[in-house]
Amino acid sequence: MSTGSDMHALVRRLYPICRSITGDGLRRTLEIISEYVPLRLREVPTGTPVLDWTVPKEWNIRDAYIADSEGNRVVDFAASNLHVVGYSVAVSTTMPLSRLREHLHTLPEHPAWIPYRTSYYAPTWGFCLAQDTLDAMAEGDYEVRIDSTLEDGSLTYGEHVVPGEVTDEVLVSCHVCHPSLANDNLAGIAVACSLARELAESNPHYTYRFLFAPGTIGSITWLARNAERIDRVKHGLVLACAGDRGGLTYKRSRRGDAEIDRVLEHVLRESGRRHRIVDFTPYGYDERQFCSPGFNLGVGSLTRTPYAGYPEYHTSADNPDFVSPEAMADTLATCLEAFAVLDRNRRYVNQSPYGEPQLGKRGLYDSLGGRSDAKTAQLAMLWVLNLSDGEHSLLDIAERSGLSFDATADAAAALSRAGLLKD
């Protein structure tokens, strides 16, 4: 499932489901994801303390509408699940439009779009609708009904692990709690599924752990349940807004100079892709949980246009037509290139550090015969030998020498085979 069209098909399949931070829509989403990458599902009961938070009650919804005096549904949950404010409590009443307006949300600047609103932790109810719809509603009484439940249940999240040569982990996280929003969050889910499948075929060095969890409370719950093994997470990446046509944006970890930060910056710069690098801020997606000061993990965030950076963000205009197969394929390719660098980035020690070792007698020059990049490969060997003092990584050497990471890594591999380097 590594083509853009395949990822786009998954976005379309997931799009109609009404998701939230808990509930059957979230479970159904994880069930579909597990058809692409097997998931280990976790259910954490309502009321469970998780760091400074508590797992909330579970919310489920079956139907909702606003009907006029003739019974016509002017706002209908069946037409768009964005019509209901997330976590709305049940309501069944009749009221005049003058009172109903207090519970209605629109986007006057985009009168044909439906906004996305939630109220997870303050029990209330409401509807979201197009401003055009509201403008067409006559004064008078309306039947208002939300058929929902908010009761004890559980929070669900899923994990998929791609085993590596070592147990040190790279954490890849995406949120799975938004309803019908294609770029935020379905494109990130689709890219993560393809990324997991591609990595499984590459025999990676690191173990890659994929986390599919509701935003904020999901990552906080995962951190609370994994605090004793969090030191295994050496690097991480949060994926979101992965399918719009904007350039790529990488947001650094809180550390600012973590290895994942340097790798993404290097890959984006060398690739020639249109991109931006931005510093960490404690606002955004779940990188802010992984980078909270008590954990301070080396976790960055990769998006295309970042959250709230495009007009369609958190509106009905963020539909499957807004995301493109080409953009998702480009996001996937960027992740694969970055993880290929991360997997091969090592520190070596020169085993013949006194003077320049003779490469010819070890057949290293002969191995370059006929290569169009023989001079570059030879120069890469000399740089790797000179800077392999146990302090410089291959990425350090590539950046200092101005050579590509691939040339540097290939040189290190050849020198290791000749016994001149020790990992």
CATH of 347-422, one of 3.20.20.70, 1.10.10.10, 3.30.70.270, 3.40.50.300: 1.10.10.10
Residue 394 has pLDDT above 60, yes or no: yes
- Write the DSSP string, 320-335: TTTS-HHHHHHHHHHH
Q: For 6-10, what is the mean pLDDT?
A: 98
Asked if the model's pLDDT at residue 366 lies above 70, the reply is no
pLDDT at 367 over 80: no
- Are the folds of 58-151 and 347-422 the same? no
CB 10 within 8 A of CB 191: no
* pLDDT value at residue 364: 86
Rounded average pLDDT over 377-389: 95
- What is the CATH number assigned to the segment(s) 58-151? 3.50.30.90
| Residue set of the binding site for Zn(2+) | 178, 184, 314
Look at the domain 4-55+155-344 and name its fold: Aminopeptidase (3.40.630)
The per-residue pLDDT for range 264-300, each reduced to its tens digit, is 999 999 999 999 999 999 999 999 999 999 999 999 9
- Looking at the chain, the whole-number percentage of residues with pLDDT higher than 90 is 93
CB 297 within 8 A of CB 288: no
Q: Does residue 314 sit in helix, strand or coil?
A: coil
Question: What is the predicted pLDDT for the residue at 360?
Answer: 85
Sign of the torsion formed by the C-alpha atoms of 97, 98, 99 and 102: positive
CA distances from 384 to 181, 361, 372, 400 (A): 47, 18, 20, 11
> Where are the domains positioned within the chain?
4-55+155-344, 58-151, 347-422
Q: With 90 as the cut, is the pLDDT of residue 371 above it? A: no
Question: Are β-strands 233-239 and 154-162 bridged in parallel, bridged antiparallel, or unpaired?
Answer: unpaired
Band (pLDDT 50/70/90 cuts) for residue 365 is confident
Query: Is the pLDDT score of 104 beyond 60?
Result: yes
Instruction: Order across the sheet with 91-96: list the strands.
Output: 73-76, 58-67, 141-151, 91-96
Reported as a pLDDT band with limits 50, 70 and 90, residue 374 is confident
Mean pLDDT of the chain: 96
Quick one: which of 11, 154, 178 has its CA closest to 86?
178
State whether the Cα torsion 377-380-386-387 is positive or negative: negative
- pLDDT higher than 60, residue 148: yes
Residue pair 252/280 in contact (Cβ under 8 Å)? The answer is yes
Return d(Cα 131, Cα 113) in angstroms, integer: 8
Residue ranges for the binding site? 178, 184, 314
The 10s digit of each residue's pLDDT in 30-54 is: 999 999 999 999 999 999 999 999 9
| Per-residue pLDDT at 370 exceeds 90 | no
Average pLDDT over every residue of 330-349: 97
